[in-house]
Amino acid sequence: MIDLRSDTVTHPTPAMRKAMYEAELGDDVFGDDPTVNALQERAAELLGKEAALFVASGSMANLVSQLAHLGRGQETIAGASTHIVDDEQAGHAVVVGTSIKPMRENPDGTFDLADLERAFRDPSDPHQPITGLVAIENTHAHSMGQPLTVDYTRAVARIAHAHGVPLHVDGARFFNAAVALGVSPKELAAPADSVAFCLSKGLSCPIGSMVAGSRDFIHRAWRGRKLVGGGMRQVGVLAAAGLVALSSGPDGMIDRLAEDHANARRLAEGLAAMDGVESAGGIAQPAPGKLDPRRATTNFVVFSVHRNRAAYLDALKSRGVLMVEYADDTIRAVTHYGVTAADIEKVLTASAAALRETAFTTTATSAVLER
């Protein structure tokens, strides 16, 4: 199978497996695991922050960040489609006790700065919650993985800070953004008060995410992690994979993300040339009509088919290719470690055949609709 459902399907590299086997361990709840400590130092250094914390998942990274930044009854300003808003079982409400002010988003993954200015609550009005956090997502998944620039991050931070509010970046694919923009992770992280990133997506680790920020913030996040049951013991076996991923040597997984981006662009170009493949609409592909492959800037390709979507996906599957249903009737394909340029050509061949095979399903559906 060529599995393009997500970059979370990646398996650890041979270098990671070796490092996991050989990892020096300790009880991390006592702060005794040298491998975890080394990973936390490495993540903090890479992002130019004082400290970092290893957590189980991207959702936990966002949750403990919110616990660290917010008090009950406060509110977070965040893009309407983002993971924090839509895909974390309202953990902000259930666990943190806060509300969300969802922002209309642009096709480049940003929200308008004028809208942001207007979104802050009036603390003198007792009817309103108090704004306690601004959160952005980088890369921004629903806009087809657009990377948010350093300038934009700075502009958002400036506004947030002028209101006395911190900026959190959900950077599940933060390194994809840095690589696509050609900037250092440190520069991209600098305006933010906290940055979360996933080890278990494009970086190919089996489990884990990091949160980085000031020492005080990380102390509060560390308490939050224990609250949600995320204090782990000899977890250096997992952190060891993260250290390999973040290393600057030949086994490091950051620079190679450029390969995934090139593969996504090639996939988008090939798909765009096929009859029956369309722009996804919405913020993933704002211009109606053909898929615009130039929007494949990181490792996401989001598109629609002028076919029955489930039938097309089944036809792909029967040819050894997995993609996944995505928001607004779209389909998502994500490139990652283990998917080669040659695989992309196979995917395109499979897609052409799947489109031919499922052409009938549209005709049938439209006939029903016309009636």
Ligand X SMILES: Cc1ncc(COP(=O)(O)O)c(C=O)c1O
Q: What is the torsion angle, in degrees rounded to the nearest 10, for the CA atoms of residue 252, residue 337, residue 33 and residue 174?
A: 80
Residue closer to ligand X by CB (options 2, 172) is: 172
- Cβ neighbours of residue 1 under 8 Å, at least 6 residues apart? 320, 321, 322
- Least distance to ligand X from the beta carbon of 164, Å? 26
Instruction: Output the six-digit token pair for 294.
Output: 């130039």
CB of 123 to ligand X, least distance (A): 29
- Cβ atoms of 74 and 131 within 8 Å: the answer is yes
- Position of minimal CB gap to ligand X: 58
Six-digit token string for 120: 């802050």
Query: Going by C-beta distance under 8 Å and a sequence separation of 6 or more, which residues neighbour residue 367?
Result: none
Selection from 239, 179, 254 nearest residue 36 by Cα: 239
From residue 245, give the alpha-carbon distance in Å to each of 16, 19, 174, 242, 275: 8, 11, 13, 5, 39
Kindly state the smallest distance separating residue 165's Cβ from ligand X, in Å: 20
**Shortest distance (Å) from residue 139 CB to ligand X:** 8
Residues that bind ligand X (CB under 6 A): 57-59, 83, 137, 141, 170, 172, 198, 200, 209
Nearer to ligand X, 166 or 276 (CB): 166
Cβ 215 to ligand X, closest distance in Å?
24
The least CB distance from residue 182 to ligand X, in Å, is 21
Specify the pairing of strand 330-334 against strand 300-305.
antiparallel
Which residues make Cβ contacts (< 8 Å) with residue 94, sequence separation at least 6?
none
Rounded Cα distance between 110 and 50, Å, is 27
Between 209 and 351, whose beta carbon lies closer to ligand X? 209
Residue 85 vs 165, nearer CB to ligand X: 85
Tell me the closest approach of the beta carbon of residue 88 to ligand X, in angstroms: 7
Question: First vs last Cα of the chain: how many Å apart?
Answer: 39
Please answer whether residues 42 and 130 qualify as being in contact, where contact means their C-beta atoms are separated by less than 8 angstroms.
no
**Closer residue to ligand X in complex, CB, 60/160:** 60
Q: How many CB atoms lie within 10 A of CB 223?
A: 13
- In three-state secondary structure terms, 133 is strand
State which residue, 39 or 355, has the beta carbon closest to ligand X: 39
Question: Which residues is 137 bridged to in the sheet?
Answer: 170
Which of residues 198 and 274 has its CB atom nearest to ligand X in the complex? 198
The least distance separating ligand X from the CB of residue 354, rounded to whole angstroms, comes to 25
Please tell me the distance from the alpha carbon of residue 334 to that of residue 150, in angstroms, as a whole number: 24
Q: Name the residue nearer to ligand X (CB basis): 199 or 305.
A: 199
Nearer CB in complex with ligand X: 9/258: 9
Q: Give me the least distance between CB of 202 and ligand X, in Å please.
A: 11
Contact of 139 with 178, CB cutoff 8 Å: no
Which residue lies nearer to ligand X by CB, 80 or 359? 80
Q: How far is the CB of 297 from ligand X (least distance, A)?
A: 16
Which helix or strand (DSSP H or E) is residue 325 part of? strand 324-326
Give φ, ψ of 105 to 5 degrees. Answer: -110, 155
Q: Which of 8, 19, 1 is nearest to 245 (CA)?
A: 19
